[in-house]
Chains A and B, each alone.
Chain A
C-alpha cells in the first residue's frame, strides 16, 4: 500500500512538471478532432457553393421561374430552352412509383423475417438481405436494360419498354434491401413485453403484429422508408439505363407506361460531352442544385418527422393536438376516402380493364366480408400475404442473381482477369479495371478513414449533445443524403477544373472519400457508443488524460466496429459509377497508371460502357458484371461477418 502511494506521488510529481505541456497537447488534439468533425459541414457548404457558382449563370440568364417551371428542356435548339419542370416531375413520379412497389413488399418481408420465420431461416435470410444492399446500382441497371425493359415491352405490348414503370420497379427493387433490414431491426427491437402482453390478453398473432408491433415500430419503419426514398431519388445509373430519358411529363400524368426523365439521368447523360463554361453546362449545374435542394428537403423533413415520432410516443397521453379529436378523425376519414378514390381511378386508367375490375372486386369483397371473417381467418389471409411478399422478394433477387451468375460464369477465365481489354472490351480481359477499382477505393478509404474516425471521436468523446453537435450531425446527414452524381459534379467542378488536378485517380479518390465519409462517421460513432461508460470513468478516475483514455481504453475495443464501417465503405465505393464518371476514369487503357495524377479504368464504368456503348460484347459484359458483383458482395460479406462476430462478443458481456 505504502509502495503504491509512493508510486502515485512519483507519477503526480512527474506530471506536475509536464502539466502545461500535456494541457496544450490535449487542447491541440481536441482542436484537430474538432476540425475533422467540422469537415463534413465544410464539404456540404462547398458542394452547394460550387454548384451555385456554376449554376447561377443560367438562373440569371433564364430566370429562376422559367428555369424551374419551364416545360421544355431543349438546350441545343436554335433558341435554347432550359425548363426543368419535366425533370423535376419525372424525379418525383419515379420515386413515388418505386415506393408504391417497394414499401408493401419490404414491410411484408420484414414482418416475415422478424415474426414468422423460424430462427434458422431468419439467421440465413437476414445477412442475405444485407448482402443484397451491396449490389452495385450499375449491375441493377444492366439487368434492367437487358431483361426488365424487354419484359415490360412484351408483357404490356408496348412500342418500347423504357418507361416510368421500368424505372420505378428497378428503383423499388434497389430500395428493397435497405427498407427491409431497417424496418426489420425496428420491429425486432420493440420490447418483448408489448408482444407478450398483447398475446396474453387473447389477441391473435396477426392482431399483435398489426395493432401492437408495427405501430410501436412506426418511427423505425418511417426511417426505413425515408432511407429508401433517399436511395431512389439520388440514383443515376440504373434510372438512366431504363427510363428512356424523354424529357416529358407523362400524359396523362398517371401514365406509368410513358418514358420519363429524371434530374439525375439528365446529369448522367449530358455532363460527359457538354462544353465547359457554356449555358448548357451552367444549366446542368442548375439541375444539380435543384436535385441537391430536393434531397436536402427530404432529409431535413425526415429528421424532423423522426423527432416528432419519437417525442410523440413519449407524450402520447398528455399530447395536445392542433385540432380536436373529432375533427381529426373526420379529416383522416376524408383523406382515406380520397386516397381510395385516387387509387381506384389510377387502376382504371393505368392498368388493363380486367385487372382493374379484378382488384376492385377483391377489395370490395374484402371490405364487405371483413365483419364476417373470424380473427383467425384474417390471420391466415394476412400471413399468406406476408409470406407471398417474402417469396416475391426472394424470387426477384434470385432472378437477378441467376441471370448475372449464369451468363457471367462462362466469361471468367485466367486471361479475363489478368489481361487488358482488346477490341473495345469485346475481347481480352479487365485486369486494368480491377486494379483501377482497387486503387480508387483504397485511396478513398485512406482519406475518409482518418477524417471520419476523428469526427466520430469528437462527436462522442469531446462534446455533450448541444447546438454544435446538432449542427455537425445535420452536416453529416446532409452529406449522407447527397446523390452520388452530385458528388461527381462537385468533384469535376472543384477538383478536376478549379484545383486543376485534371481527370485523375486522385480526383476520383477524393470524390469517393467525400461520399463514404458519412458511413465511416456513423459506424465509428455506433461502435464508440457501444463502449460502456464505466470504462471511460474508470480510466479518467485513474488519472488518465482524455486523450490517453480515448487512445488506450476506448479505441481498441472499438476497432472491429470501425473496420466494419471501413469495409462497408469500400464496398460502396467500389460499386459506384456516377462519382468517378467525370473525375477519374477512362474507358480503355492498356497500361496501369503510374501516378495518382493519371486516369484509371474502373469496373463499374467499364460495365456501363460495355452495356450501353459497345454492341456485341455480350460475354464480356456479363463477365464484368459478375466480377464487380463478387468484389462488392465480397467486401460486404467480410464486413457483415466482422460485425456479427463483434456483436456477439459485446452482447455476451452485457446480457
Chain B
C-alpha cells in the first residue's frame, strides 16, 4: 500500500504492477493548539517550509503566547510518500529547509506538534485529533477551505491524493479477495470510520 504514485522508472522496472485506488486522503496542515492562528495560505506554508518565513509574527493572526514565536518546522523523512507528495504539491518540488525536523510517521509528526507550542506539521486527515489544531487554507475572505472529508471528496481542498494498493500482476486468490473487500461497502465503511475519504 502506498500514498505516492509509482514513478516512471519503477513502472519500467516492474511492468507487471497493477495499481488499485482504494481511498482518498487529504493532507492537513496542523499546528499546536497554543497558536492563535486560524487559517493559513498555501504561499505561507511554502514560505515556512522553505525557511523564508521563520517567525509566527510574520503571519497575520498567528501568535504563540509565552514563546519567542520561532517557527519549529516538522516534516516527514525523505523515504515518505506523504513527504514526496507534499514537496511536489505545496513546495512546487523545491527541497524543504534542512532545518526541518524529520519524523518517520504521521503519528510522530502529530505527537511532536502536540507537545511543541511553536510547531507546524502536516499529517493525513485520518490522523487528525483534538491534540492539535487543523488549519483551513485561506484563498480570500469568501474562500476558506478546511480539510474535511467532504472538501477532499469534492476536490476544493488543494492538498489531496489517492491511496493505492499495488500488486504484481492482476490480484487473485486471497489478495484479490482482500482488495475486493476494501472496495466493497463494508470495506469502504472502515475507510470512512478511520477518517479517510471513500471512493464513491
Contacts and interface: CB of A to CB of B under 8 A. Distances in A.
Contact of B98 (A159, A247, A614): A247
B172 interface: no
Size bracket, chain B contacts: 35 or more
B16 to A, nearest CB: 15
B78 A270 contact: yes
Nearest to B95: A77
A75 B78 contact: yes
A246 B103 contact: no
A160 interface: yes
Contacts of A73: 78, 98
Contacts of B110: 615
A63 interface: no
B150 to A, nearest CB: 23
B79 A159 contact: no
B79 A273 contact: yes
Interface in A617-650: none
Interface string A82-126: 000010000000000000000000000000000000000000000
A277 B129 CA distance: 36
A248 B98 contact: yes
A150 B45 CA distance: 26
B107 A613 contact: yes
Interface in B99-118: 99-108, 110-112, 114-116, 118
Interface residues of A, number: 42
B186 interface: no
A177 interface: no
B189 to A, nearest CB: 16
A261 interface: yes
Contacts of B137: none
A143 B183 CA distance: 41
B93 interface: yes
Contact of A162 (B79, B95, B101): B101
Nearest to A614: B107
A611 B107 CA distance: 9
Interface string B156-197: 000000000000000000000000000000000000000000
A76 B83 contact: yes
A616 B131 contact: yes
Interface string A255-283: 00001010000001111111101001000
Given A159-B67, A269-B103, A612-B111, A76 B87 contact: yes
Contacts of B101: 160, 162, 244-246, 259
A78 interface: yes
Interface in B106-143: 106-108, 110-112, 114-116, 118-119, 127, 129, 131
A577 to B, nearest CB: 13
Contacts of B77: 245, 269-270, 273
A328 to B, nearest CB: 44
Given A245-B102, A246-B102, A157 B79 contact: no
Given A159-B70, A612-B111, A614-B107, A273 B95 contact: no
Contacts of A275: 10, 79
A354 to B, nearest CB: 19
A159 B72 contact: yes
Nearest to A617: B107
Contact of B119 (A160, A247, A259): A160
A153 interface: yes
B148 interface: no
B98 A246 contact: yes
A613 B102 contact: no
Contacts of B129: 615-616
B58 interface: no
Contacts of A280: 78-79
A150 B114 CA distance: 12
A190 B173 CA distance: 70
Contact of B78 (A74, A86, A150): A74
A615 B98 contact: no
A270 B87 contact: no
Contacts of A271: 79
B190 to A, nearest CB: 13
A159 B118 contact: yes
Contacts of B115: 149-150
A539 interface: no
A611 B71 CA distance: 24
Q: Interface centre among A78, A159, A271, by most B CB within 10 Å?
A: A159
Interface string A595-612: 000000000000001011
Nearest to A159: B70
A160 B72 contact: yes
B113 to A, nearest CB: 10
5 contacts: A160-B119, A247-B102, A269-B103, A273-B80, A609-B107
Interface of B: 10, 13, 67-68, 70-72, 77-81, 83-84, 87, 93, 95, 98-108, 110-112, 114-116, 118-119, 127, 129, 131
Interface of A: 72-78, 86, 145, 149-150, 153, 157, 159-162, 240, 244-248, 259, 261, 268-275, 277, 280, 609, 611-616
